[in-house]
Amino acid sequence: MNLFINAAGDKPMYEQVKDGIKEAIMNGELKAHELMPSVRQLAADLNVSMITTKRAYADLEREGLIYTVAGKGTFVKLEDVSMIQEKHINEALELFRKQAEVLKKLGVPVERLDDELEYVYGGNSNE
């Protein structure tokens, strides 16, 4: 798992750690029941405080993505990534719809939105 933390970024470091781990789980880099690095080891690897990694792990545990077994470590909990992915897709689509409504009220033509979507998807809206 390769995580990159930008200490000068706008996003708090614990969120960067959490998002990086979440992405690794979602894209299959981390598998169900795979042992995660310890809080201490991950903090050392990323050159951040243990408090930062502990907070990220706590958030991930609350979200149901990891679990901890006393004396054994922290593991990836997720059995079925598709369920979580679908939840995130629905949340993102809801945000998209809200922003599309704002753009509609501003008089932005749908053709411009099509152009933006093609740009985001690399010129192929079927990716």
9: tokens are: 């970024």
Q: Domain limits at 100?
A: 81-120
Range 78-102 average pLDDT: 84
125 has pLDDT over 60: no
| 36 and 72 co-located in one domain | yes
| 93 and 54 co-located in one domain | no
Residue 8 lies in a domain: no
| 68 and 111 co-located in one domain | no
Q: What is the pLDDT of residue 116?
A: 92
d(CA 54, CA 20): 14
Phi, psi of 69 (to 5 degrees): -115, 120
| 28 and 60 co-located in one domain | yes
36 has pLDDT over 80: yes
At residue 85 the predicted structure's pLDDT band, cuts being 50, 70 and 90, is confident
d(CA 39, CA 24): 17
Residue 5 lies in a domain: no
The domain total for the chain is 2
| 62 and 105 co-located in one domain | no
